[in-house]
Structure 1
């Protein structure tokens, strides 16, 4: 498999990597709280956008491809945050299986 060449200068978007942690409530259930596990620098590129009607408004969804240096523990179900923007991680893979980079497919819900 050919090695992926990526200019490291493109990894300039600072993102917070967050993991969901369940927090018990008074009724015996759980709520979801997000905890920051680290800061990464990545290349964020939009892939697609979609609008769909829902609850008397249009719901906007965008997918992005986020490329970052390899980091252990990144998995689907986690998310990236950049200010008010939230990128939910759908898939994670090593594009050339060299252990240098990770490519994450993410979904950003409209605000």
Structure 2
């Protein structure tokens, strides 16, 4: 694996985790908490359309490359995270620790079917 230059990681993203809070009526409500703000490279991989609730929705898959952080060590936890880039939301499905060297992490994510 070749080291990645700083110029390649040109997009500033936020990694968020879900949290449940109670609203004013005491009902549980999901909110998102920032875990980290990092530089990343976002590359599209594929796209498809799906019919959901009698409506056609587009889903795009992406590969998001970031520098390693310990927050990516637990795969079950990472699969609950999402990435926020500008107004775009990417649902993370998995984190691949390239060559198990703890240098780069490739996040496989989708965009388009829900708000994370």
Please report the TM-score for the alignment, with normalisation by the length of structure 2.
0.83
In the alignment, structure 1 residue 92 sits paired with structure 2 residue 95:
yes
| 1:4–1:95 CA contact under 8 A, matched in 2 | no
In the alignment, structure 1 residue 80 sits paired with structure 2 residue 83:
yes
Q: Give the SS at the match of 1:73.
A: helix
Q: Which residue of 2 aligns with 1:59?
A: 57
Q: Give the superposed CA RMSD.
A: 1.8
In the alignment, structure 1 residue 68 sits paired with structure 2 residue 71:
no
Could you tell which deviates more after superposition, 42-51 or 4-13? 4-13
For structure 2, the residue ranges without an aligned partner over 5 or more in a row are 73-77
Q: Please list every run of at least 4 consecutive aligned residues from structure 1 whose deviation after the TM superposition is greater than 4 angstroms.
A: none
Q: Give the SS at the match of 1:8.
A: coil
For structure 1, the residue ranges without an aligned partner over 5 or more in a row are none
**Alignment length, in residue pairs?**
108
